[in-house]
C-alpha cells in the first residue's frame, strides 16, 4: 500500500472511532429496585435486612427432619453426605491440644449467618424454597441442638442478632481498609 493510501486509511479509521466515542455508551436499561430485591438478601452480624417472621426449635424439628436430615444426619450429627458435614457438636475443640471439629456450633461467629446461609443455599437441591418462619424455626433447631438457645426461645429479626455464638471471639479482626 502506498504511503498516501495508508494515511487515508488511518484517517478514515479515526473518523469511525470518534463517531463511536460521540455516541452515549449502550449499557442497557437501569435495573428496577424490585428486580434487585430478590438478590439483595445478605444479612450481616447486626441483623439488618432480616425479614419478618418467627420460629422456635420445637417448630424447627419437623422442618429439619423433612428437608435437611437426609444429608446432615439425625440431630445434625453423622451426616450421610460427606460434603454436607455435621452441623452440631465440636464446641471447645478449636484449641491447640484438640482435633478441631468445625460445625455451626463450634466455629461460626454469628447466628445471623446461619439464617443467611440456609436462606440462600439450603436445602441443597431446592435453595430459596423455605418461608421466613421455616428459616427462623430450622435455625432455632440447629442452635438448640448445639446448646446455644432453649427449645422454646423465639427467633425473629430482633432476637436472632442477640444470640451469642460460642466462637464469637475466636476470630482475629482483619481490617480491610486500614486507616
Ligand atoms: C441434598 C443434600 C443436602 C440437604 C437436603 C441439605 N443440605 Fe445443607 N449442605 C449440603 C452440602 C453439600 C453442604 C456443603 C456446601 C458447600 O460447602 O458448598 C451443606 C452445607 C450446609 C451448611 C453449612 C455447614 C458448614 O459448617 O459450613 C448448613 C448450615 C446447612 N447445610 C444447613 C442445611 C439445612 C438447614 C438444611 C435443610 C433446610 C439443609 N442444609 C439441607 C447438603 C445438603
Q: Which domains does the chain have, with CATH numbers?
A: 52-162 (1.10.760.10)
Q: State the DSSP H helix or E strand holding residue 156, giving kind and residue range, or none if neither.
A: strand 155-156
Res 137: pLDDT? 98
Q: Which residue's C-alpha cell is 430485591?
A: 37
Q: How confident is the model at residue 91 (pLDDT cuts 50, 70, 90)?
A: very high
With beta carbons less than 8 A apart as the criterion, state whether 159 and 153 touch: yes
pLDDT at 11 over 90: no
Mutate to test the pocket of ligand 1, among 68, 80, 84, 155 (most ligand atoms within 8 A of CB): 84
Whether the predicted pLDDT of 36 surpasses 80: yes
Residue 12 has pLDDT above 70, yes or no: no
Closest CA to 73 of 151, 149, 145: 145
Pocket of ligand 1 (CB under 6 A): 67-68, 70-72, 81, 83-85, 87, 103-104, 114, 117-118, 122-125, 138
pTM, to two decimals:
0.85
Amino acid at each position: 500500500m502506498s504511503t498516501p493510501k495508508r494515511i487515508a486509511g488511518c484517517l478514515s479509521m479515526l473518523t469511525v472511532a470518534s463517531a463511536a466515542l460521540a455516541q452515549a455508551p449502550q449499557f442497557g436499561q437501569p435495573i428496577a429496585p424490585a428486580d434487585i430485591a430478590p438478590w439483595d438478601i445478605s444479612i450481616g452480624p447486626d441483623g439488618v435486612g432480616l425479614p419478618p417472621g418467627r420460629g422456635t426449635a420445637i417448630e424447627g424439628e419437623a422442618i429439619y427432619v423433612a428437608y435437611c436430615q437426609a444429608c446432615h444426619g439425625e440431630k445434625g450429627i453423622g451426616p450421610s453426605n460427606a460434603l454436607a458435614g455435621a452441623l452440631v457438636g465440636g464446641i471447645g475443640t478449636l484449641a491447640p491440644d484438640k482435633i478441631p471439629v468445625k460445625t455451626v456450633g463450634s466455629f461460626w461467629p454469628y447466628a445471623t449467618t446461619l439464617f443467611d446461609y440456609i436462606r440462600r443455599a439450603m436445602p441443597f437441591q431446592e435453595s430459596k424454597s423455605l418461608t421466613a418462619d421455616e428459616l427462623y424455626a430450622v435455625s432455632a433447631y440447629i442452635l438448640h441442638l448445639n446448646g446455644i438457645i432453649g427449645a422454646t426461645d423465639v427467633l425473629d429479626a430482633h432476637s436472632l442478632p442477640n444470640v451469642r455464638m460460642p466462637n464469637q471471639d475466636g476470630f482475629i479482626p482483619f481490617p480491610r481498609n486500614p486507616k
